[in-house]
Amino acid sequence: MNYEQPIIVGLDIGTTKIAAIAGRKNEFGKLEILGFGRANSNGVKHGQVLNIDETIKAIAAALENCYASNPNLEISEVYVGIAGHHIKSLQTRGDIVRQTTEEEISQREIDQLIADQYKTYIPAGDQIIDVIPQEFTVDNFQNIPNPIGYGGVKVGANFHIITGDKNAIRNINRAVEKSGLHTKDLVLQPLASAAAVMGQEDIEAGVAIVDIGGGTTDLAVFYEGILKHTAVIPFGGENITNDIKTGLGVLKTQAEQMKVQFGSALANEAKANAFITIPGMRGLPPKEISVKNLANIIQARMSEIMDFVTYHLKQVGMDSRMLNGGIVLTGGGSQLKHLIQLTEYVTGLNARIGYPNEHLKSGHIDELTKPVYATCIGLILKGYDDYERNRKQFDQRYKAVEIPNDLRKAIEEDSANEQEDKVEEVVSTGKRKAGLNVNGFWNKFKDNLIDLFKEEEDHKL
């Protein structure tokens, strides 16, 4: 384990759950998870913190579980994800004329160019969350991914600026600070999820990340290594649950359970003669619900979400010819059955599920590699990006913290299972030998015949 690296904590404040994950990079550049905790979220609606007190309680519960998984952790600073339908994005252009043209372009000049974009005019009540450079230009040379080391008089770039509502941002910061933590940085959730589930080849091929959360669906579009578009669609898994609750006349907890256990995003794939029996309330008879009807409700809402995704892709001119990497589905909602088929049908693009194990060290429990934790793991990776590029100051007092056993995959059990399998195979083959193995005899006879014909063919040749 490489102890000469800081421990970075990601805090995902979602509509249905709050997750806190602490991680550190090892000597191979892979992320090792040192602590993990989650709790149900009550004070958040559609990705926005509305009830600060309830959110503080949920953050405290998630932190408590994180400390329970590893008592050696000390958490004071966190990277926090932000989403919600108040998030907007705009494109700008910025240029600077260099003072000292004799020297090569330095990181300081690029930082100055980015800092200037924070002065861009935005509507009152909004605040700039992030400024992301796209492609740079040096004098007459265009489409330069990184201009450091170039020589020239004028440096410019196109920028993708992400803004959010000031009150929404203030509520997140207040909830985090009242939980005894400091917000190191606010990161747009689709960008965090993209960092967790994508490799460099995905970004170059062109890909759309669709993170289906509880309250919102977040979209990030990449092409030729550049972030082209971000959007937050104000529908998510909770909308599907509410649709089931209203459409089938059941409780919200029952609707959620049915969605997870029996739900399908394609009604054609659901069995027409299958029914779910729900106990009646206060002496009422049990209710029978058709699995087909359940799938119809889910498909209607998921099709609407995917129509929004298609609309945003058309807005930025990204069609099937541009996005060779297709659509990567992640987040808790991506675990719905047959969602890949529905996505491909509605959008006309290839689709796959994005698991956050692209940059994760192998050997962690399966729970951590679920798409639902993509944002949280991406927040840690964003923190390491800041650390490696010296964008922020980090505590230099590194602490020796080991991966807790609760977060390790039981390798001993796996190997024991393999041995059991081998024993069963030996026993079963032994039984076949003991009995009259007619099949074995005919197989042997057939093999000899094939060999005989082969020899004859060889002679003819």
Average pLDDT over residues 443-459: 47
Average pLDDT over residues 413-436: 38
Average pLDDT over residues 88-92: 92
pLDDT, position 1? 57
Average pLDDT over residues 216-229: 92
pLDDT, position 62? 96
Distances (CA, A) of 60 to 35, 64, 176, 178: 15, 6, 10, 10
pLDDT band of 451, cuts 50, 70, 90: low
pLDDT, position 428? 33
Taken as a whole, the chain contains a residue count of 461
77 has pLDDT over 60:
yes
Reported as a single tens digit per residue, the pLDDT across 136-151 is 999 989 989 889 999 9
Closest CA to 306 of 269, 264, 345: 345
Q: Is 447 helix (H, G, I), strand (E, B) or coil?
A: helix
Distances (CA, A) of 183 to 66, 77, 81: 17, 6, 10
Q: Please state, in angstroms and rounded to a whole number, the distance separating the CA atoms of residues 461 and 459.
A: 5
Q: Please state, in angstroms and rounded to a whole number, the distance separating the CA atoms of residues 290 and 275.
A: 5
DSSP 137-186: EETTEEEES--TT---SEEEEEEEEEEEEHHHHHHHHHHHHHTT-EEEEE
Average pLDDT over residues 244-257: 93
pLDDT, position 449? 43
pLDDT, position 447? 53
213 has pLDDT over 50:
yes
66 has pLDDT over 50:
yes
DSSP assignment letter at 404: P
Closest CA to 44 of 214, 177, 276: 214
Two tokens, residue 89: 């994005």
The values of phi and psi at residue 220, to 5°, are -135, 130
Let me know the angle formed at the C-alpha of 69 by 354 and 358, rounded to the nearest 5 degrees. 20
Handedness of CA 97, 98, 101, 105 (dihedral sign): negative
Q: When comparing pLDDT for 176 and 454, which is higher? A: 176
Handedness of CA 308, 309, 314, 315 (dihedral sign): positive
Reported as a single tens digit per residue, the pLDDT across 324-380 is 999 999 999 999 999 999 999 999 999 999 999 889 998 888 999 999 999 999 999
Q: Is 84 helix (H, G, I), strand (E, B) or coil?
A: coil
* Range of lowest pLDDT (9-13, 92-96, 142-146): 142-146
The values of phi and psi at residue 357, to 5°, are -110, 10
173 has pLDDT over 50:
yes
Q: Which amino acid is at 26?
A: N
Reported as a single tens digit per residue, the pLDDT across 373-400 is 999 999 999 999 999 888 888 877 777 7
Reported as a single tens digit per residue, the pLDDT across 179-203 is 999 999 999 999 999 999 998 888 8
Q: Please state, in angstroms and rounded to a whole number, the distance separating the CA atoms of residues 453 and 445.
A: 13
Q: Please state, in angstroms and rounded to a whole number, the distance separating the CA atoms of residues 61 and 280.
A: 33
The two beta strands, 207-212 and 327-330, are parallel
431 has pLDDT over 70:
no
Reported as a single tens digit per residue, the pLDDT across 326-336 is 999 999 999 99
Residue 3 CA to its chain's centroid (Å):
27
Handedness of CA 62, 63, 64, 68 (dihedral sign): positive
Q: Is 242 helix (H, G, I), strand (E, B) or coil?
A: helix
pLDDT, position 422? 38
Q: Which distant-in-sequence residues (6+ apart) come within 8 Å of 129 by Cβ?
A: 82, 87, 162, 163, 164, 169, 186, 188
434 has pLDDT over 50:
no
Let me know the angle formed at the C-alpha of 51 by 49 and 53, rounded to the nearest 5 degrees. 115
Q: Which amino acid is at 157?
A: A
pLDDT, position 418? 42
Q: Please state, in angstroms and rounded to a whole number, the distance separating the CA atoms of residues 234 and 305.
A: 9
pLDDT band of 461, cuts 50, 70, 90: very low
Mean pLDDT of the chain: 86
The four Cα atoms 275, 276, 278, 284 give a dihedral, to 10 degrees, of: 0
pLDDT, position 94? 94
423 has pLDDT over 90:
no
Percent residues over pLDDT 70 in the chain: 88
Average pLDDT over residues 272-288: 86
DSSP 259-300: HHHH-BS-GGGS-TT-EEEEPPSTTPPPEEEEHHHHHHHHHH
457 has pLDDT over 70:
no
Q: When comparing pLDDT for 258 and 272, which is higher? A: 258
Strand partners, 88: 163
pLDDT, position 285? 87
Q: Please state, in angstroms and rounded to a whole number, the distance separating the CA atoms of residues 161 and 92.
A: 7
